[in-house]
Every structure is written in C-alpha cells, then in structure tokens.
Amino acid sequence: QSTVTYNGVQALQPTKGRKTVLVTGGAGFIGSHTADHLLTRGDSVVVIDELNDYYSTTLKRANIAHNLTKHGPSNFKFVEGDICDEELVERIFKEEGITHVCHLAARAGVRPSIDDPQIYVHSNVRGTTNLLATAAKYKVQNFVFASSSSVYGGSKSTYFSESDAVDNPVSPYAATKKACELLAHTYSHLYDLPCTGLRFFTVYGERGRPDMAPFKFVDRITKGKEMLQFGDGSSSRDYTYISDIVDGTVRAIDRPYKYQVFNLGKGSGTTLMEFISIVEEMVGKKAIKKILPDQPGDVPRTCASTEKAKALLGYEATVTFREGMRRTVKDYNARNGFKDSRAVLEGEKMAPYEAD
Ligand code: NAD
C-alpha cells in the first residue's frame, strides 16, 4: 500500500485483474471513449444506453459501432434500454457477472434542464438510485459515477475544491448531479458499497457532443455560419480533454474507496474570447458572432483544484487546450470532409496526432 495521504485518506494501489464493467451511457461521448479504453486493456464491457434523442441517435449508434468494429463482440455487449428499468438492470447484473459499474448515463446539459426538469430527475436521480440499489444487491467491487463541476454553482473560489461547501447548484441539471452524490453516499454507508463520484469539468475532444460549445463553434466557424456568444466573452471554463477524463475515470474504477468525490479537470480556465480566437486560428476563418446576454443557469467560471485526484488517484491532465482543440478540429474535418488548416497541420508536426 502507498503511504501517500490526502486529508487523512490514504491512497490505494490499483486493483489488478480482469473486470467486467457495466458502462451506463456507453453510446455517449465520454462512455464510448471509456468503454474503448477498458476493452483495449482487456476488460469485458457491457453498455446500457437508451439512445435517447437529446442529440443525434446516429452519432450514438456510430459510437457503439466504433467499439464493436474495433474490439469485436466477444468482450463487448450493447443493451439498448433505460437505466430506470429495474428488471432489465437486474438481469444485466445477474447474467453478465458485473464486477464494476462506471455510471455515465444521464440527461446532460444545463440549459435544457430548465425547460424540462422532470426528464432530468427521471434519468439522473431515479436511474442512479436503481443502479445503486442493484449494485449493492449484487455486491459489486466499485461503483464510479459521473457528477459535474456544475455542483459548485457560482463558487467564488479561484480553484473549486472538493472540500468546499457545495450546496448552491443553479440549474435542475446541477441539482440532480448533487442528488446523485448524496444517494451514492447513502448507499455506500448503508450497504458498504464502494462509491466514487467524479466531478467532470467541461469535456471536449474527438466525437464530442454536438450540443456543446467546442463542437458548435468549430462547426459554425468552419461553415461560415452565425454563432451565438452568450455574455461579453469574459466567462471562463476549465476545458478538459477526453483522454485525460478517461484516464481519471479508469484510475477511479481501479481504486475502490468507501466514498469519495474527485474533481477531474485540467486545473486552468480558458475565457470564451480566448476559446473563439483559438478556434478561428485552427479553422483559418473569422467567427460571425451574435452576442446575447448570459443565460440563466450558466455560471461565470469553473476551475478545478486537482490536488486530491492527483494525490489519491495519481491523476494529472496532460493535454493542453490548444493541442486538444487541434485534435478536435482534425477529427471534425476528417468526419465532415473538410481540409485541415495550416494551424492544424503545423501543430501536427510539433505534436503528432495519435488516433485512439
Ligand atoms: P452524452 O449525452 O454523450 O452521454 C450520455 C448517454 O446516456 C447518452 O448516450 C444517453 O442516450 C444515455 N442516457 C441518458 N439517459 C439514459 C437512461 N435513462 N437510460 C439509459 N441511457 C441513458 O453525455 P457525456 O458528455 O458523455 O456525459 C457523460 C456523463 O458525464 C453524464 O453523466 C454527464 O452528466 C457527465 N458530465 C459530462 C460533462 C461534459 O462536459 N461532457 C461535464 C460534466 C459531467
């Protein structure tokens, strides 16, 4: 055992051996990349995803096809269904011999949660409760789930830390993520279920979500279409590249703590203004902006303290925002038949692109 401690918690050595991981939401952005990583290292993966139409189901089916083609069907199974379906979820645990849960299925997105909070409560709160109850019943070795930086609300801290009092979510989405943390804490306490919550900070990268700013900005600027900018451009986000998020998630799967939450971010912010100018440079075109007021539910800034994840998980984000966006633009171009700009090609000479 390692002697590294953080606030009295001792860092654990990773558990070894082949795992059978239930990846919920595995047709989505982070889930499909995580499943890919787990399959590559030799674990078995069962994905449950309802393929809802929050964004294109074609993209979600393509994410499943990507993993099936790459890894074949012997260690990878896809089940289409709702995580709230008690019978279906129980059958998966029983028949597939699930040893670990990586729970990423959720209704994501802050702004749409204000228009339709019920659907967020259904998937995020009810769904998480069903999974926790079943995982406790089948005594899985670890339950890792996606929380979100949004639980910090409009925190004024320079770096958002897990030890900050967090009781000020400002959107129904954030409130459901806080509820997931509280439920996981409860199940871990009642049933000795090891649970780890991961507060992801704005994730972007290849096959990224089309409803999120990194994809939207690249798409609009490339096509010379008008794009919406909310606020004066000074708001800032801790953008975290997908491979860093997957690395932190897998580290958490391998280290079953009784109950912990960790920030998974890069640990530095990029303003909206800087962001747009980096995309302009990568794409080689100027943005046509329509500037609108800040939106309800949005927070002015996010920035992760990553000290705890570093000490207890050995996590460290390694991909700079510029390099991450270069890879994102390259992937967008390849999938949409656009040519790479000079900035993308020159960046490549400096940091060769590796397809995952
Ligand atoms: P995503 O929308 O691409 O993936 C979520 C998947 O869950 C989708 O494929 C969806 O069909 C599925 N799903 C939703 N409700 C379901 C249900 N009831 N039953 C079965 N499947 C269901 O989102 P993502 O960006 O990959 O996010 C993954 C997780 O990380 C989510 O929990 C999200 O809240 C969290 N998160 C993401 C970010 C980010 O920047 N992407 C930031 C913070 C937290």
ipTM over the 0.90 cut-off: yes
CA of 115 to the centre of ligand 1 (A): 18
Structural domain includes residue 250: yes
19: domain range? 5-203+241-264
Is the minimum distance from the CB of 144 to ligand 1 under 6 angstroms?
Answer: no
DSSP string, 165-206: ------SHHHHHHHHHHHHHHHHHHHH---EEEEEE--EE-T
Residue 169 gets the label, from left (phi > 0), alpha (psi -120 to 50) or beta, of beta
Which distant-in-sequence residues (6+ apart) come within 8 Å of 80 by Cβ? 48, 49, 50, 51
| Residue 266 CB–ligand 1 contact under 6 Å | no
Whether 199 lines ligand 1, by a CB cut-off of 6 Å, is: no
Residue from 54, 120, 152, 173 carrying the catalytic annotation: 173
- 205 Cβ closer than 6 Å to some ligand 1 atom: no
Q: Is 39 inside any structural domain?
A: yes
User: 268-297: per-residue pLDDT in tens?
Assistant: 999 999 999 999 999 999 999 999 998 887
Ligand 1 atom nearest 103 alpha carbon: 32
Residue 268 CA to ligand 1 centre (angstroms): 23
**Distance in Å, CA 125 to ligand 1 centroid:** 13
Contact present, 203 and 108 (Cβ < 8 Å): no
CA distance 225 to 135: 47
Q: Is 151 in the pocket of ligand 1 (CB under 6 A)?
A: no
- For residues 51 and 176, membership in a common domain is answered with yes
- Both 221 and 155 in a single domain? no
Contact 312/235 with Cβ under 8 angstroms?
no
Burial of residue 138, with CB atoms counted within 10 A of its CB: 0-12 exposed, 13-18 middle, 19 or more buried: middle
In a shared domain, residues 141 and 276: no
> 60 CB under 6 A from ligand 1?
yes
d(CA 164, CA 272): 25
Same domain, 277 and 168: no
Q: The CATH number of the domain where 139 resides is what? A: 3.40.50.720
Q: Please count the structural domains in the chain.
A: 2
In the chain, which stretches have pLDDT less than 50?
352-356
How far, in Å, from the CA of 216 to the mean position of ligand 1? 18
Q: For ligand 1, atom 8, name the residue with the nearest CA.
A: 28
Verify whether residue 173 is a known catalytic residue: yes
**Is residue 249 domain-shared with residue 230, that is, in the same domain?**
no
CATH number of the domain where residue 296 is located: 3.90.25.10
